[in-house]
Amino acid sequence: MNAKAIVYTSNTGYTARYAAMLSDKLGVPAHSLADALKALPAGTPVICMGWLMAGSVKGYGKAAKRFAVEAVIGVGLGDTGAQDEAARKACRLPADVPVFTVQGGMDHARLKGGYKLGISLLTKAMAAKKNRTPDEDRMLHLLINGGDYVSEKELAAVLAWADR
């Protein structure tokens, strides 16, 4: 791993917590994307982290325009690892960039405006879906009831990659 920093985008705080955890484990600083765009030189090798919105990793596009993204981590509602390939496709990631999805959480009290509406629509769509997979059932439960799954063990695959 050559990454010199972690660059993250977080709406309700789960990705920020994972970024702090990973920063601690890897010994590289974590910056919000907004700060990184001011503080880091163009071309800096980074790990890009962002919350999953409509399947895509928020902030990846902006980060990739400015920095050399070595790996991408999406934080969402599904089980850790379950959305890796979907996120790769949605972000059109190059084949040589590893992607990891990890389970974050849902805190309705922290959602505002359009994002609140987005979650209400996503919940309705998921509830109406026939033949939900067990992962989708757990996602629906999280959408309705909220919950916090941030834990160091969810980063095991990322740490194994960084340790190669």
Ligand X SMILES: Cc1cc2nc3c(=O)[nH]c(=O)nc-3n(C[C@H](O)[C@H](O)[C@H](O)COP(=O)(O)O)c2cc1C
**Is 55 a residue that touches ligand X (CB under 6 A)?**
yes
Provide the minimum distance between the beta carbon of 43 and ligand X in the complex, in angstroms, as a whole number: 26
Whichever of 93 and 104 has its CB closer to ligand X, that residue is: 104
**Is 75 a residue that touches ligand X (CB under 6 A)?**
yes
Cβ neighbour number for residue 72 with a 10 Å cutoff: 24
The region that residue 44 occupies, defined by phi over 0 for left and psi between -120 and 50 for alpha, beta otherwise, is: beta
Interface residue with ligand X among 7, 21, 46, 52 (CB under 6 A) is: 52
Interface residue with ligand X among 3, 6, 14, 158 (CB under 6 A) is: 14
Q: How far is CA 48 from CA 30, 63, 138, in A?
A: 10, 7, 26
Provide the minimum distance between the beta carbon of 164 and ligand X in the complex, in angstroms, as a whole number: 26
**Is 59 a residue that touches ligand X (CB under 6 A)?**
no
**H helices present in 27-133, as ranges:** 33-39, 60-66, 84-91, 113-128
**Is 11 a residue that touches ligand X (CB under 6 A)?**
yes
**Is 147 a residue that touches ligand X (CB under 6 A)?**
no
Interface residue with ligand X among 3, 5, 7, 15 (CB under 6 A) is: 15
Provide the minimum distance between the beta carbon of 108 and ligand X in the complex, in angstroms, as a whole number: 10
Ranges of beta strands (E only) in 2-156 are 5-9, 30-32, 45-53, 56-57, 68-76, 99-103, 105-106, 147-148
**Is 45 a residue that touches ligand X (CB under 6 A)?**
no
The C-alpha atoms of residue 80 and residue 36 are separated, in whole angstroms, by 26
Residues in 80-99 that interact with ligand X by CB under 6 A = 83
Chain centre distance of CA 12? 12
Of the listed pieces 21-29, 74-82, 123-131, 154-162, which binds ligand X according to CB under 6 A?
74-82
